[in-house]
Structure 1
Amino acid sequence: MRIKFISLLFLSAASLGAASLSEAYTMALENNSELKQSLYEAQAASERTSSATAYLLPSISLDANYVMEKYRRRGATNRTDESYLKYGINLNQSLLRVPAWYERSLAKVREESSNLQYQNTKQELAKKVAQAYFAYAYDKQSLSVAKSYEQASKARYERMQKSLDMGLANKMDTLESKVRLDEASLEVARAKRRIELSRLSLARLVGQEIDVANFSELDVDFFRRESLDKFENVEANFDYKQAKLGREYYEKDYSKRVSEYLPSVDFSIGYFNHNYRDDRYFPDELNKVEGMVKFTLPLYSGGGTKARVEEGRLMRLASAEKEADARREIAIKQRQAMSDYLGYISEYDIAKSSLEHSLVYEHSIERGYEEGLKNLVDLLDAKARVFKTQNDALAAAHKLILSYIELYSDIGEISEDVMARLSGALR
């Protein structure tokens, strides 16, 4: 009975040229534009961090400027020309600019957030590919089951039509078998539509149309053996990580705004030549060294700094609330996902048992019909029940697989190894 159940649940095939789940994911990594966009954004964030770091380091420049300065001295008849050309090399260094240090820290947080977003994009892609892959496989199996039911209904109708022509069956039973055939044909048409949509959805993700492997058996013990303790981990969830980084960002941003009240100190030194136009009164100044230390203490900015500090304080409070809310929501979501997972295992067991019983029932009705103890409606109802329980078993298996993927998605650990192990449970 188990062999018959398995063959009805997943109609096995050689699946020549079919891509594995890992292969489909590899193709998606190479073709997905959203992932490439996320990678470029992460690389750009790294460059912004380098830019913020460079602001803290010395800068060296080659300077040249022409200063025109002409005037008439009191009592003089001729205008004095003090214009000159100044050129040389200059070094500038910030000695104390606390906001700049905080800006670098903020850039580091933004870079970490972009890298995290890139990793999450990969996780979301893996999740979407896995869901689309198994949706396609599920729809293929559903179509096979629907075609099998349609063929059985067609054979039954043709037998009834011949019996009617020979006067061995009544017209009502023949019409009943025709109605069941039409229902089966309608289900095949619907299954074909679903499989076309799922095929295109998978192709959109991987960049080309591919076939997927068929599975002959679902190892439910594989799912039972999975330890659920690791899935109750809020810290590993992407949304929580982002909320945590958000709080860290606004903590640093608030400190940066407060530091705008502090003084700044800048240092510069240069090596210059001054070439004057009027060498009679102003001899050239060559190899001149100029240095400066600049101290700046903000005293009043029209209330702008105060407003910015208050804004930063409020944003810091908001980010703390957001992190706390994310922790609560994700903890509930993870527990719900584990509960669903266990429920789908039970649902699959029930569906499998129901299918086995419906097959026994169908066999009994067939014998009763052959012996004249059951009518045609009873037989058709029994076959329809088998078809329904076949679909229920397929749907239960599909939901269990998706639930397994969702568990790993919630802790950000969908990997090729997880995909390979999952595929190994579906032989």
Structure 2
Amino acid sequence: MFRKSILTLLILAPLAQAEEANRSSLMSVYTQVVAHNSEMAAARENYLARQEGVPQARAELLPQVALEADAGNRRSDRHNVEERSGSLYRLTLNQPLFDASRWFTFKAAQAESEQAELDFSAFQQQLILRTAEAYFNTLLTEDNLAATKAELRAFERQLRQTRQSFDAGLSDQNDVLSAQASFDRANANLIDSQRRSDDAYQALMRLTGQAQPPLIGIRHSLPVVAPVPNQVEPWVDQALSQNLRLRASQSQLKVAEQTLRSSKAEHLPTLNLALGYAEGDSDLMDNPSHFGQRAGNQRDSSVMVQFKLPIFSGGGTSSRVRQASHRLDQSEYDQTSLQREVVERSRNAFRAVNSDVEQVRARRQTIISSQGSLKATEAGYEVGNRNIVDILDAQRDLYNAVRDYNIARYGYILNGLRLKLEAGSLNPGDLQSLAQFLKPDYDPDKDFLPADLARQG
């Protein structure tokens, strides 16, 4: 399902990396994940191993040919020393004519192969989302780190001005202490933000298998729009028909059904065609334990149709039927649970995207309002209507609004991908669409705010 797109990405990866020089882009990170992620490699090997179940089950329905060779030597010295050697070659062919149990086992193996392919495709889809989560979470930590640096600088300026006012006798000790406390708190937040950024890069390294240079950020001009269609039911319907995990569970149900049929078929008779040809010492052919008693070679050929009707197997067949029946019931219950989960997650993701659209707009407006509030508070402080604590609170509100805005815009991106994942339509092209809005010269210290709001601030 993803092979062509992944192959294209692997071919274009060196070109993309060359263009981006010492920066990592979304697509370069994804191509590294596809090429070097150990979980991806393990999932691929698991998929290939499960595919081998089909030829193994088919082999049980095809002719079985075997060649045997026996050689013997006997020495006797009862009266006269006598020594004789002999050999025997035997070729046999067995072809099942009717074996319902083997046939249903083969059908179960085909369903298992289909499930393996869907499981692998679902894993690849999940890996796309994990790549995006790691990438954009790292960008979020960088933007939050930049906002915290700016907040620290603001509190540092406020602390310096407050000390100057105190030295001039224009403010009291409480103002200095309040400014110092805000500065210290921001400094502690900076340390925590730096750690979170380092942790995010470490998560990227675990995902890609190699250290990552600074990431290319995404423009604030990325369209923030409602999903299309903007009704939840079409998304739920698509998820119920296209969700890869749900489709894999349907294949698992087929496996359980065919396994039950195979177990029940063990009660049925089997019919087998056996062909044989043997040439060699007559003693070895008729009675190998009496080899050496008579000499001579002979040829023997046979054609037999073997009929077998199981009558009693100690209860093992009935037990396997009951076990397979319980497995079938389990698969049905698992599918029902997964169906409900897919519906829930699809609805939640749809609501999350629409909520994020409003959140981004509201958070952006909050920044504008907080900037205006800070300016008004500073003006009030100049005329004596406000105190230093009011300014510190207004500054803190402004940078909290900035952080909330960035959380909302990255949340919008990831929730959009989660909605597509549940609908079964997520593919590498979705990452490519996002990559079009990357800003090669993105600098978190300058671009953590939209350019127009930064100018206003």
TM-score grouping bracket, smaller chain normalisation: 0.7 to 0.9
Helix, strand or coil: the match of 2:266? helix
Shift of 1:168: 3.1
Change beyond 3 A, Cα 1:224–1:249: closer
Structure-to-structure mapping, 1:6-405, within 5 angstroms: 17-65=22-70, 85-210=87-212, 211-223=214-226, 227=230, 231-232=235-236, 233-276=239-282, 283-286=296-299, 288-405=300-417
Q: Distance in 2 between matches of 1:241 and 1:284?
A: 62
Q: Is the CA contact 1:224–1:345 (under 8 Å) kept in the aligned structure 2?
A: no
Q: Is the CA contact 2:36–2:209 (under 8 Å) kept in the aligned structure 1?
A: yes
Moved more, 251-260 or 118-127: 118-127
Shift of 1:345: 1.9
Q: Is the CA contact 2:227–2:353 (under 8 Å) kept in the aligned structure 1?
A: no
Letter in 2 for 1:258: K
Q: Distance in 2 between matches of 1:22 and 1:104?
A: 41
> Could you tell me the TM-score, scaled by structure 1's length?
0.86
Change beyond 3 A, Cα 1:59–1:149: same
Shift of 1:152: 1.2
Helix, strand or coil: the match of 1:269? strand
Q: Distance in 1 between matches of 2:153 and 2:195?
A: 19
Q: Distance in 1 between matches of 2:304 and 2:229?
A: 69
Shift of 1:177: 1.4
Q: Distance in 2 between matches of 1:29 and 1:406?
A: 19
Q: Distance in 2 between matches of 1:82 and 1:105?
A: 53
> Per-residue CA shift, 1:70-120, capped at 9, x if unaligned?
xxxxxxxxxxx9996431322221111111111111211222222222222
RMSD over equivalenced CA pairs, Å = 2.8
Q: Distance in 1 between matches of 2:240 and 2:137?
A: 28
> Per-residue CA shift, 1:246-275, capped at 9, x if unaligned?
211111111111111111111122232132
Change beyond 3 A, Cα 1:350–1:279: closer
Q: Distance in 1 between matches of 2:146 and 2:223?
A: 22
> Per-residue CA shift, 1:159-212, capped at 9, x if unaligned?
222232233332221222111111211111111111111111111101112121
Q: Is the CA contact 2:118–2:245 (under 8 Å) kept in the aligned structure 1?
A: no
Q: Distance in 1 between matches of 2:21 and 2:42?
A: 34
Q: Is the CA contact 2:179–2:392 (under 8 Å) kept in the aligned structure 1?
A: yes
Matched residues, number: 404
Helix, strand or coil: the match of 2:66? strand
Q: Distance in 1 between matches of 2:365 and 2:409?
A: 13
Q: Is the CA contact 2:63–2:93 (under 8 Å) kept in the aligned structure 1?
A: yes
Letter in 1 for 2:268: L
> Per-residue CA shift, 1:9-49, capped at 9, x if unaligned?
xxxxxx97221212111101111111111111211122221
> Could you tell me the TM-score, scaled by structure 2's length?
0.81
Change beyond 3 A, Cα 1:97–1:358: same
**Percentage identity across paired residues of the two chains:** 23
Shift of 1:141: 0.3
- Counterpart of 1:73 in structure 2 is none
Q: Is the CA contact 1:222–1:425 (under 8 Å) kept in the aligned structure 2?
A: no
Shift of 1:59: 2.3
Q: Distance in 1 between matches of 2:171 and 2:363?
A: 35
Q: Distance in 2 between matches of 1:224 and 1:271?
A: 72
Shift of 1:425: 5.0
Instruction: Extract unaligned runs of 5+ from structure 2.
Output: 1-19, 75-82, 284-290, 440-457
Helix, strand or coil: the match of 2:69? strand
Q: Is the CA contact 1:103–1:256 (under 8 Å) kept in the aligned structure 2?
A: yes
Change beyond 3 A, Cα 1:216–1:337: closer
Shift of 1:404: 1.4
Q: Is the CA contact 1:42–1:118 (under 8 Å) kept in the aligned structure 2?
A: yes
Q: Is the CA contact 1:83–1:276 (under 8 Å) kept in the aligned structure 2?
A: no
Instruction: Extract unaligned runs of 5+ from structure 1.
Output: 1-14, 70-80
Change beyond 3 A, Cα 1:224–1:325: closer
Moved more, 43-52 or 417-426: 417-426
